[in-house]
Amino acid sequence: MGETVFSLSQKGWGKLHEASIAQSLLDIVIETASENKAKFVKSVKIDIGRLAAIENDALMFAFDALKEGTIAENARLYINDVPIVGRCNVCSFDSEYESFDFCCKNCGSYDVILISGEELNIKEIEVEDE
């Protein structure tokens, strides 16, 4: 009754979730490149929040493995690490967190919403179009 639903890559990197994320990223890069009639992709810039549970080296490794033979094969991946910032619902103060104790650094409340740190976003793709 069961079946295998994952075939993320023919290269055997499908076991890390970073590989799954790299494949999703690459799909968007390739799609954007073809929409822009690019010859090749030079660079890709992404934002990764510190709370996104991503190992940058693993993501880089997976991206480099998966990009081979695609329009993005020479693309360089730039990862911007985004700090965790929370805004207090009580006093509106913004706190930046190094550790995982999301307490307002002004008033001590735990009624804090994270305004950054969970990103897994693409920012910019540089393409060569002639």
Q: Per CB under 8 A, does 101 bind other proteins?
A: yes
Phi, psi angle pair for 112, to nearest 5°: -125, 130
Short-list 92, 55, 70, 77, CA closest to 126:
77
How many positions of this chain bind other proteins (CB under 8 A)? Answer: 46
Of residues 14-33, those binding other proteins (CB under 8 A): 14-17, 20-21, 24-25, 27-28, 32
User: Is residue 11 a contact residue for other proteins (CB under 8 A)?
Assistant: no
**Which residue in 11, 34, 36, 108 binds other proteins (CB under 8 A)?**
36
Cα-only R_g, the chain: 18
Task: Identify the DSSP state of 75.
Answer: P
Angle at 6 between CA 126 and CA 25, to 5 degrees: 10
Per CB under 8 A, does 5 bind other proteins?
Answer: yes
Q: Is the dihedral of CA 11, 14, 16, 17 positive or negative?
A: positive
Task: Give the integer Cα–Cα distance in Å for 126 and 128.
Answer: 7
- Residue 3 vs 68, nearer CB to other proteins: 3
Which residues ranging from 50 to 69 are in contact with other proteins (CB under 8 A)? 51-54
Give the footprint of other proteins on this chain (CB under 8 A). Answer: 1-8, 14-17, 20-21, 24-25, 27-28, 32, 36, 38, 42, 46, 51-54, 100-103, 110-111, 114, 118, 120-130
